[in-house]
Amino acid sequence: MAILNYEPNKLVIGKGSLDAVKDVPGERIMIVAGGSSMRRSGVIDRIVSLLGDREVFFHEGVGKNPTIYEVNSGVEDFKKYTPDTVIAVGGGSTLDAAKAMILFYEHPDLDIKTVTPEILPEKREKIFLVAIPSTSGTASEVTRTSVVTDPDRGLKIPLNCMANKPDIAILDPDLTMTLPDNVVAETGMDALTHAVECYLRPDCDDFNLALTQYAILGIMKWLPISFTEKTEEARERMHNFQSMAGMAFTNVGLTMVHGISHAFGGYYDYPHGLTNGVILPYVLEYNKAVPSVAEKMEGLAKLLGVDDFIQAIRDIRSYLGIPNTIRDMGLDEETYLKDLPVVAKNSLMGPTKFNPIVMTEDTIKVVIDAAYYGKSLL
């Protein structure tokens, strides 16, 4: 049995959908944003103006891999301003951080250093959450996922619970029109990884196979156009496909690509989508040993009109300028070998537990080694 949940309650999509902000409930609004891009592009001013005469507070400056300290600083702002609605606007990291801030604000009894998914709450108690992504990747606007980093332990902590699901997701492609090329490429690879990992899981049900298969085909077609030609249509399609992948993986889950990627991201602060993009083909090669996974990949190749699905992934990755190996990301061999025991251990956590092939420290080192040196696993 599987219980599928496609909340948030409302998904507002399409060009100009930012206008839906004027109808969000609440009188004390906290806007959570990342660096300065949402300010520079005028998005924050537009949100403030849509909110009319309501009281508006700001927590800005969320980084690319938000830390538990950034979350705690947000909690302090929440205590000070006592918002009834939070509008999180920005990339996936910003949305994830806002979810974590709300979680620890509403539940001061939880300790961010020691919390485990089993004790996380099922419902958000006080705050109405509006999520407005400015990148097309994490799909945090429709998921129960929030990932924060504990820099002291070099670990990413997944805070997955129903209380994290936003009430409204606003998918306005206008916000993605000024994204830097590398962000389009990296977040696009994150979305593709979500769709592929979810689709290839043996427990992916009919509903989520439909969502992810359509997302995979759509991303493979539109991501290169979004990257090079930057058309409004491509950006809109990518914004929708990444969210569809999110709706699916929040119900079904991910696999070893994200497990390894979180380990490297937590340890070296690498961008999430970039790391996924590097690792994805190696994991596909490894998991191809499972007949049902190989069969699904053959089916995808047919639908895409290509000979080999993994090669198609490698082709799109190289078109986007994503490196072929972890070594190409700039990690020197001495450091890699020194850190490997810890990173391999950390890679076994989270979604690796649901990989189609059960992984051990020894076997995951084989996959990581292939991704570091560029070895084939076929």
Say if CB 12 and CB 169 are below 8 A apart: yes
Segment lying near Fe ion (by CB under 5 A), choices 9-17, 122-130, 182-190, 314-322:
182-190
Say if CB 84 and CB 68 are below 8 A apart: no
Segment lying near Fe ion (by CB under 5 A), choices 5-13, 161-169, 187-195, 341-349:
187-195
We find the least distance from the C-beta atom of residue 139 to Fe ion, in angstroms, to be: 8
- Spatial separation of the C-alpha atoms in residues 191 and 5, rounded to whole Å: 19
- Spatial separation of the C-alpha atoms in residues 18 and 27, rounded to whole Å: 18
Q: 76-98 in b/e burial notation, b at 16+ Cβ within 10 A?
A: ebbeeeebebbbbbbbbbbbbbb
Residue 190 lies near Fe ion (rule: CB under 5 A): yes
- Spatial separation of the C-alpha atoms in residues 31 and 77, rounded to whole Å: 11
Residue 186 lies near Fe ion (rule: CB under 5 A): no
Nearer residue to Fe ion within complex by CB, 20 or 139: 139
What would you measure as the largest C-alpha separation in the chain, in angstroms? 61
**How many residues sit close enough to Fe ion to count as binding (CB under 5 A)?**
1
We find the least distance from the C-beta atom of residue 43 to Fe ion, in angstroms, to be: 23
Report the interhelical angle of 181-200 vs 291-304 (nearest 10°): 130
- Spatial separation of the C-alpha atoms in residues 70 and 251, rounded to whole Å: 28
- Spatial separation of the C-alpha atoms in residues 109 and 54, rounded to whole Å: 30
We find the least distance from the C-beta atom of residue 147 to Fe ion, in angstroms, to be: 8
Nearer residue to Fe ion within complex by CB, 167 or 190: 190
Nearer residue to Fe ion within complex by CB, 141 or 190: 190
Nearest-CB residue to Fe ion?
Answer: 190
Query: Mask of contacts with Fe ion, 223-262, x by CB under 5 A?
Result: ----------------------------------------
- Give residues 96-135 in contact with Fe ion (rule: CB under 5 A): none
Nearer residue to Fe ion within complex by CB, 20 or 326: 326
Nearer residue to Fe ion within complex by CB, 190 or 236: 190
Residue numbers of the site for Fe ion (CB under 5 A)? 190
